[in-house]
Amino acid sequence: MHSLYLERYAWPHELFPDYQPPSNLSLIVVIPCFKEPDLIGALEALNACEKPQGEVLIIVVVNESEDAPEAVKTANDLTLKQLKNFRSAYPLLVSHQKLPAKKAGVGLARKIGMDEAVRIFRRAGNDGGIVCYDADCRCDTNYLDEIELAYSDPGTQSGIVFYEHQLHRENHEATVDYELYLRYYIDALRFASFPYAHQTLGSCITVRTSMYEKVGGMNTRKAGEDFYFLNKTIPHGGFVEINSTTIRPSDRVSDRVPFGTGKAMNEIINSAEEYSVYHPNTFEDLKLFFSKVDTFWAEENSKIPRTVATFLGDNWQEQINEVKSKVSSQDQFKKRFFHWFDAFKILKFVHFCRDEFYQNVELEEALDWLRQKHFFLKGSKQSYLVQMRYLDREVKV
């Protein structure tokens, strides 16, 4: 079947042209692997999973830059040797990629594996689920089963698997702080009534093959590829939160990417100050702004928070009118409004408020504000995290 995506936008080099997939292939797990000390542990977690009804394939993309230092090459060579001796419960395809120095990174490695998954699903004649998984993750035994179950609904087009960071003793406090920040940010956006407020960790993403092609595939960013991919995908609809199983990202320190879990962990551990996060007033202003959406449709003149007006500029009303001019109903306007003021624009707004209006506050102050909105009990940060995990798992999309 003809695929414009594969012809024009996919990684041009097919990895496994001779692989013949089974006709009942339902999931392909894609794992980018760069200088990973425990890929085998991540694969053993998949081995321990209950087998779903359809077939599962695992693709590992061991990768490094063309100009990678010897330490990286040595680590990847060791990984490749370990994989040769690993007995996988599922078919396991391994590719070793030397990436162009300017683009080498997790975004490109993830894209290469996901593009290959598209080719294989097309060869099988299935519109199956592509599952992102990282080489330092662990997962519950029902992980594959629950993802397959989500795709048994033909309306499911993409999703995010519930996550809980591994809490190892040496990085325990920093991990708690970082995960509390991640949950605070998304729960604050939900408080503000942003309809697309979902976590965006790369190891939690899953997407149906046809949707992956529709949005132009994974981007090649060196970091943040997950955020930008889901920002394109979620508004198309058919997005689900798979909260009946859990992926467990690593809590390890890393400086491999300019931001993300490893980088944040490193900064938290090495900082002498209390961890600080975005000011709650930012989300209060967003909530007030979003509450005006119906008013924007009905009226020409509306008042909005000063922070938002300053962020958008003097012509903010014209910008909203431009959104209105593209639609013919209130429902269409609301949908298009949040395509315009999307997660990426919100992130820019949040940073603008931090720099121009509201300084960051200590994490515990922000959590105390959120506590009043979500009614979880007071206690230690650890107690907050346990309760927020529980509340977030109960969210219905």
Verify that 138 and 29 share a domain, yes or no. Answer: yes
Comparison of pLDDT for 248 and 258, the residue scoring more: 248
Q: Answer yes or no: is 8 within a domain.
A: yes
Verify that 33 and 118 share a domain, yes or no. Answer: yes
Verify that 15 and 153 share a domain, yes or no. Answer: yes
Residue 316, both tokens: 């903010």
Residue 144, both tokens: 């594959």
Lowest mean pLDDT among 33-42, 321-330, 335-344, 377-386: 377-386
> Residue 50 — very low, low, confident or very high, per pLDDT cuts 50/70/90?
very high
Verify that 352 and 308 share a domain, yes or no. Answer: yes
Q: Answer yes or no: is 381 within a domain.
A: no
pLDDT at position 238 over 90: yes
Verify that 163 and 292 share a domain, yes or no. Answer: no
Verify that 134 and 10 share a domain, yes or no. Answer: yes
Query: pTM for the whole thing?
Result: 0.92
pLDDT at position 159 over 50: yes
Q: Answer yes or no: is 108 within a domain.
A: yes
Verify that 248 and 298 share a domain, yes or no. Answer: no
3-class state of residue 149 by DSSP: helix
> Apex CA 47: angle with CA 45 and CA 53, to 5°?
120
Q: Answer yes or no: is 123 within a domain.
A: yes
pLDDT at position 263 over 60: no
Number of domains within the chain: 2
pLDDT digits 0-9 by tens, 297-342: 987 778 999 999 999 999 999 999 999 999 999 999 999 999 999 9
Phi then psi for residue 377, to 5 deg, are -75, 160
**Letter for the amino acid at 253?**
V
Which pLDDT belongs to residue 267?
Answer: 60
Any idea what the CATH number is for the domain that residue 28 is in? Answer: 3.90.550.10
Which one, of 154, 135, 153, 132, lies nearest residue 143 by Cα? 132
Verify that 247 and 308 share a domain, yes or no. Answer: no
Cα distance between residue 170 and residue 191, in whole Å: 33
Verify that 154 and 292 share a domain, yes or no. Answer: no
Verify that 233 and 340 share a domain, yes or no. Answer: no
Verify that 149 and 239 share a domain, yes or no. Answer: yes
Q: Which domain holds residue 235?
A: 4-171+196-259
Verify that 211 and 115 share a domain, yes or no. Answer: yes
pLDDT digits 0-9 by tens, 90-142: 999 999 999 999 999 999 999 999 999 999 999 999 999 999 999 999 999 99
> Residue 397 — very low, low, confident or very high, per pLDDT cuts 50/70/90?
low
Q: Answer yes or no: is 268 within a domain.
A: no
Phi then psi for residue 361, to 5 deg, are -120, 160
